[in-house]
């Protein structure tokens, strides 16, 4: 792996990733040696796809200290200690010298292909993105299921020779690679056979499963376990099937399947027109980039060792894409926007190089951007016992948001996350920090600031309140400038005006419970906010409580009753 970490003639260790970790030399030397921690990390890599730990390079550094020297016996000691502390973990440590003269150890951990790695005290871990996470007992079965999927792409099953590939599909693949602006000139200059080897579609004279899937003949693709089958089913208002299209003859490779799904289903061309001044904007019910990204994700992230078809179910109000298998370990419906876990990494690379999908881990960001900028609800991921479902709602929640986001993007060339945040806040009128974190599953308070980007600086988004009580809303000046016709909401009502509203409500309706006041004033105002202002009015003796805590009612001070 170290050869891949050299950049021109300059030695550079990459940041920590799914496959790379950096450790201080202190983890294996002196009184601070932490062999248990190192063993745990080795188990993590072994249960994923293997990886490399660079020992002797600090987390925030690219090189070891120039004066650092390492005992030549230390690599052998590391190998021995890891074997004593782990089960089913294979390692190969080597002593290396960086260009600055500093020494470090490159510890390669091999993937545990057919067994589950663990520490000798019976603990299981797996590498997810750039972190090591423990595996609870209920997740072990999922790891056992995913293990064969890790190596499916590069396996040779039926010894199909490269010469037996479909010549049309092979030539199309070569042409696509050579015309892609995501592929380097060095790769484009390779011969067809060299390209097959480069993308792990072949090994020696034979096609791998990945090669058969992409450039194999129909009869060979049909014999794969399990080549993808896609079913499109359309339902009416009574859930009756009114149309069905099935791609199950195995004549199409993944790229051709995506194209067939988009071009052969007439429903994708339907949409509505929205007025935009003297112009009209046509918005598809289901945008092309969203459909293509959904199918690409389904093909790339499904386990090819599990039986099951991909279902595209179209209802009058929504689209559902069902994919066999569950999320990879570490990914949940809540964190899908932030976690990157590759199940079929070589297939994913082909998809990316051919521009069939966004960069790994950004597909959902793209869908969020498109849907929210068109005034629609964000995609809804759910996980069942044997499949994952992504739901896209058809309805435009607020047509005014489309014009608002478009105007802001034209004026300020917003980044993807900024578009997502502006669309979310505009849809909700006001969004609290807690709600913001919940919708986007942001793990840290400062993550909101990172996602908002330049929106506050550009005066597109304003805030009120402090710490956890902070609330975000679109700048009223920009709303007026964009001629935004959204519904007026009491969410942003100032506290002194809210107190006056409470007093007026009690004048009109006399003795009332807090729930009754909340119902009449407006449900969009938080219950806790109204309760806080009522308590302040009680403290100011403008209103008085009566009854016990459970059935407490409030009435005006006699001096305010006219």
pLDDT tens digits, one per residue of 512-522: 888 888 888 87
* C-alpha span between 342 and 49 (Å, rounded): 10
DSSP state, residue 161: B
pLDDT at 350: 95
pLDDT of 485 above 60: no
Do 245 and 252 touch, CB atoms closer than 8 A? no
Do 459 and 475 touch, CB atoms closer than 8 A? yes
Query: The tokens 């190192």 sit on which residue?
Result: 38
Which tokens is 498 given? 């809210």
* C-alpha span between 64 and 58 (Å, rounded): 7
pLDDT at 26: 93
Query: The tokens 């987390």 sit on which residue?
Result: 59
- 476 Cβ contact partners less than 8 Å away, ≥ 6 residues apart: none
pLDDT at 362: 63
pLDDT at 312: 97
* C-alpha span between 495 and 490 (Å, rounded): 11
Do 86 and 43 touch, CB atoms closer than 8 A? yes
- Please tell me the least confidently modeled range out of 13-17, 111-115, 122-126: 13-17
* C-alpha span between 482 and 404 (Å, rounded): 6
Distance from the Cα of residue 515 to its chain's centroid: 39
399-481 CATH fold:
Arc Repressor Mutant, subunit A (1.10.10)
Mean pLDDT over residues 242-260, rounded?
96
pLDDT at 5: 41
pLDDT of 8 above 50: no
pLDDT of 7 above 50: no
Give tens-digit pLDDT for 356-386: 987 655 678 889 999 998 989 999 999 988 8
pLDDT of 561 above 80: no
* C-alpha span between 338 and 297 (Å, rounded): 15
Q: Which of 245-249, 273-277, 371-375: highest mean pLDDT?
A: 245-249
DSSP state, residue 469: G
Do 85 and 36 touch, CB atoms closer than 8 A? yes
Kindly indicate the confidence band of residue 4, based on its pLDDT and cuts at 50, 70 and 90. Answer: very low
Q: What is the residue-wise DSSP string for 6-59?
A: EETTEE-PPPP-SSEEEE-GGGSSSTT--HHHHHHHHHHHHHTT-EEEEETS-T
Strand partners, 172: none
Do 286 and 317 touch, CB atoms closer than 8 A? no
* C-alpha span between 95 and 80 (Å, rounded): 15
Q: Where in the chain is the domain with CATH 3.30.565.60?
A: 230-357
Rg (CA), the chain: 29
CA-to-CA dists, residue 347 to 301, 453, 541, angstroms = 9, 33, 70
Mean pLDDT over residues 152-170, rounded?
92
**Helix or strand or coil: residue 218?**
helix
pLDDT of 277 above 70: no
Query: The tokens 């097959």 sit on which residue?
Result: 196
- 330 Cβ contact partners less than 8 Å away, ≥ 6 residues apart: 126, 128, 129, 133, 339, 341
Identify the architecture of domain 2-135 in CATH.
Answer: 2-Layer Sandwich (3.30)
Q: What φ, ψ does residue 179 adopt, rounded to 5°?
A: -100, 0
H helix intervals, 48-166:
74-85, 137-152
pLDDT at 327: 85
Mean pLDDT over residues 44-73, rounded?
91
CA-to-CA dists, residue 231 to 84, 220, 224, 454, angstroms = 51, 21, 18, 43
Do 160 and 72 touch, CB atoms closer than 8 A? no
Q: Which CATH number fits domain 230-357: 3.40.50.2300, 3.90.1150.10, 3.50.50.60, 3.30.565.60?
A: 3.30.565.60
Q: Which of 257-261, 281-285, 508-512, 535-539: highest mean pLDDT?
A: 257-261
Query: The tokens 């082909």 sit on which residue?
Result: 350
CATH number 1.10.10.10 given to 495-560: yes
Q: Where in the chain is the domain with CATH 1.10.10.10?
A: 399-481, 495-560
Higher pLDDT, 134 or 9: 134
Neighbours of 54 (CB within 10 A): 24
CA-to-CA dists, residue 12 to 62, 286, 524, angstroms = 6, 44, 54
Q: How many residues does the chain have?
A: 562
pLDDT at 431: 85
Q: Where in the chain is the domain with CATH 3.30.950.30?
A: 2-135
- Classify 8 in phi/psi space as left (phi over 0), alpha (psi -120 to 50) or beta: left
User: What percent of the chain lies above the pLDDT cut of 90?
Assistant: 49
3-state SS, 232-300, equals EEEECCCCCEEEEEEECCCCCCHHHHHHHHHHCCHHHHCEEEEEECCEEEEEECCCHHHHHHHHHHHHH
Mean pLDDT over residues 419-445, rounded?
84
pLDDT of 483 above 70: no
Do 543 and 506 touch, CB atoms closer than 8 A? yes
Sign of CA dihedral 159, 162, 163, 165: positive
Consecutive H or E run containing 481: helix 476-481
Nearest to 24 by CA among 72, 60, 67, 77: 60
Consecutive H or E run containing 174: helix 167-179
* C-alpha span between 115 and 280 (Å, rounded): 60
CA dihedral 447, 448, 449, 450 (to 10 degrees): 50
Do 402 and 375 touch, CB atoms closer than 8 A? yes
Mean pLDDT over residues 42-68, rounded?
91
Do 473 and 487 touch, CB atoms closer than 8 A? no
- Please tell me the least confidently modeled range out of 277-281, 394-398, 478-482: 277-281
């Amino acid at each position: 792996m170290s050869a891949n970490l050299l950049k021109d003639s300059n030695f550079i260790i990459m940041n920590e990733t799914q496959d790379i970790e950096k450790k201080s030399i202190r983890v294996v030397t002196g009184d601070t040696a932490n062999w248990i921690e190192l063993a745990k990390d080795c188990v993590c890599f072994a249960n994923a796809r293997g990886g490399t730990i660079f020992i002797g390079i600090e987390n925030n550094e690219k090189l070891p200290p120039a004066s650092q020297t390492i005992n030549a016996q230390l690599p052998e000691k590391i190998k021995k200690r890891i074997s004593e502390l782990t089960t089913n973990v294979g390692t190969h440590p080597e002593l290396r010298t960086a260009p600055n003269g500093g020494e470090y150890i490159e510890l390669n951990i091999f993937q545990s292909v057919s067994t589950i790695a663990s520490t000798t005290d019976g603990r299981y871990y797996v590498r997810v993105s750039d972190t090591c996470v423990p595996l609870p007992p209920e997740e072990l079965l999922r790891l056992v299921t995913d293990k064969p999927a890790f190596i499916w792409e590069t396996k040779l099953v039926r010894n199909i020779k490269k010469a037996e590939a479909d010549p049309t599909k092979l030539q199309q693949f070569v042409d696509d690679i050579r015309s892609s602006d995501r592929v380097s000139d060095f790769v484009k200059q390779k011969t067809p056979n060299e390209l097959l080897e480069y993308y792990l579609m072949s090994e020696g004279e034979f096609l791998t499963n990945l090669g058969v899937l992409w450039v194999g003949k129909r009869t060979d693709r049909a014999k794969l376990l399990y080549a993808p089958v896609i079913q499109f089913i359309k339902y009416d208002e009574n859930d009756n099937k009114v149309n069905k299209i099935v791609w199950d003859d195995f004549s199409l490779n993944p790229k051709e399947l995506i194209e067939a799904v988009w071009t052969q289903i007439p429903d994708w061309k339907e949409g509505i027109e929205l007025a935009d001044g003297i112009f009209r904007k046509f918005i598809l019910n289901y945008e092309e980039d969203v459909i293509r990204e959904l199918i690409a994700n389904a093909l790339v992230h499904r386990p090819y060792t599990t039986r099951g078809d991909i279902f595209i179910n179209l209802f009058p109000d929504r689209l559902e894409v069902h994919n066999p298998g569950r999320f990879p370990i570490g990914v949940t419906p809540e964190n899908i926007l932030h976690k990157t876990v590759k199940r079929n990494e070589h297939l994913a690379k082909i998809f990316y190089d051919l521009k069939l999908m966004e960069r790994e881990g950004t597909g959902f960001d793209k869908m969020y951007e498109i849907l929210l900028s068109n005034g629609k609800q964000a995609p809804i991921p759910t996980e069942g016992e044997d499949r994952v479902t992504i739901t896209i709602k058809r309805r435009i929640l607020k047509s005014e948001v489309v014009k608002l986001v478009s105007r802001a993007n034209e004026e300020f060339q917003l980044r993807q996350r900024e578009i997502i945040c502006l669309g979310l806040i505009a849809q909700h009128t006001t969004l609290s920090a807690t709600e913001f974190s919940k919708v986007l599953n942001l793990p840290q308070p400062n993550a909101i600031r990172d996602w908002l980007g330049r929106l506050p600086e550009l005066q597109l988004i304003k805030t009120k309140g402090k710490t956890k009580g902070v609330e975000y809303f679109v700048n009223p000046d920009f709303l007026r400038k964009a001629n935004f016709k959204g519904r007026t909401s009491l969410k942003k009502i100032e506290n002194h005006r809210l107190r006056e509203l409470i007093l007026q409500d009690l004048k009109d309706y006399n003795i009332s419970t807090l729930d009754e006041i909340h119902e009449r004033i407006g449900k969009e105002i938080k219950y806790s906010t109204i309760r806080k202002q009522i308590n302040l009015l009680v403290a100011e003796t403008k209103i008085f409580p009566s009854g016990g805590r459970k059935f407490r009612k409030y009435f005006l001070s006699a001096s305010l009753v006219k």
